[in-house]
Structure 1
Amino acid sequence: MTEQNIISVPMPVQGTPEASGELTDLLSLMARLRADCPWDQKQSNHSLIPYAIEEAYELGEAVQADDDEDIKSELGDVLLQVVFHCQLYAEQGRFDISDVISTLQQKLIRRHPHVFEAENLADEAAVKVRWDEIKAEEHQAAAARGKPHRRLDAIKAGSALMQAQEVQKQAAKLGFDWPGIEGAFDKLDEEINELKAEVRDKSKSAAKYNISEANISKANIRDIEKELGDCFFGLVNVARKLNLDAEAAALTCVHKFKSRFAYIETQLEQVGKSVEDSDLTEMDRLWEAAKQYEC
């Protein structure tokens, strides 16, 4: 191992640390948690994956809410995931946070020749085209190192809706797409009908799994799950054809539901009741009333 490749494992901070705002102090704090906190000691890079995803979503919600304190907190939680992963990989002797920062710097410099070199790009669209060209060159270099590359390998990780929409966009660029939105609607209708059939066809599932119809819900859940996934995928196709972001649409729906349900709770509290004291009829009436207050 050359001197340039020496992995630096941060030393744990001693005593009670202060919030200095310095990256080196944060790394030392993380090292201390790994040394002395039972929960942190048990974590692995794989066990942290759900937390990294969750924190990214919470950051998105904080940005939408536009509250500075929440945004700072959630950005910190995302940074924690980066620092935690780097600490673990450094302990394994694989790389440290300096390697991560260096890799990012190299990538940013490489993908912005119009900033750091003599290239002149007229507008944002030209920058995007050049960016994609450079990424393609990077994939070719990876293939030369023995890493196989397929058309959809470049799909970014994200929620299922995000990945579904990106998969469809890339496939469409290769000609694997309907010419208009009607094809997407027809496919969605087909998938919904197949889902209904799978849910209703207890006799088929009972025979398939050789069990009684009373236990069918457990037996055919995987088949139902597949059909449900096809429905989501079909609905994403419709969103893409309408030039809408499926993830944004779903999040809008979630926020709308939360807002309406909060209205229900508020109205019930004003008459001395709780959700548990109410029934579906009353809550549905308040739900309809909540629509009148939406922008």
Structure 2
Amino acid sequence: MNNLPLLTVGVTLLCGVLGVAGLHTYSAGRVEREALVDRLSHTGQIPAAGRHRRFRGFDRRLRKTGLGRRIELKLAATGLEVTPGEFFVYAIAAIAALWMIASSFLASFFGPLAAVIAVWGANTFLNWQRTKRTERFINQLPELSRILANATQAGLALRTAISMAADELEAPAGEELSHVSRRLAVGEPLEDALSELTDRLPSRELVVLVTTLVLSNRAGGTVVSSLRNLTETLEERKETRREVKTQLSQVTVTAYAVPIFGLGALMLLNAVMPGALDRMTGAVVGQVSVIISIALYALGFVVIRRLSRIDI
């Protein structure tokens, strides 16, 4: 006890030395980890480091479930930099927010209905992002076919031509071809790597291109002339799809305007007669009528979208 000040100084110095040593070890390990990640990202073995990921623990547990795997597959096709855990948490937050908003501005009966619509909307959002990315990829197919034709005409192998196209093209074609190139680099057959590409981004144009490449690679045919002819065909289809989309733009707007008018009518009714929706949904007849009305609006939306869908 008489040496308590000396003992305190000694313990303090020891803790300081251990703290400095621990900080030095942590800094060295972090530098080595960053160097390893940078080296592996340049070789294509892991993706380049991006933004900070949230909800990592929940994301790992979600990926082990069937729902998590389905969300992961859909996100992979959309190209969004969002993990399944992040998307699930954001979707739950949006569902809760729409529930509260519908209950506050309309009536408490509309809360669960808004939650169901939010679940449908989350799935529709993923499908829309996938379709949008597929459309962008289809627009790049003529340029992709032209690059492959020029590379093979110059005497390069098809695998090398695909790697060259991945470097020259922008996203999404560049990203998808980089993925195919990495799979080919580890020895996977060309047919399997390209088949996975058609599964992620399904389209008739891509199927035709993949079939041409696979058959030419398997049979040893004249891939250059085939790609030249395919390039012209893809250019014509691109212009045709653009014209059809322009002609059907008014029908597409009508499909979205129909349910918006119905929601606007409900809000207008509740604004003119405060509490009208509460009284209407307080009875079973009113609840059934609301459900039938929402089903009819949804049916009208689906029918209009089906009528405006033209496969080329």
Structure scoring higher RCO (CA < 8 A, sep ≥ 6) equals 2
TM-score, with normalisation over the residues of structure 1?
Answer: 0.22
TM-score, with normalisation over the residues of structure 2?
Answer: 0.21
Q: Higher helix share goes to which structure? A: 2
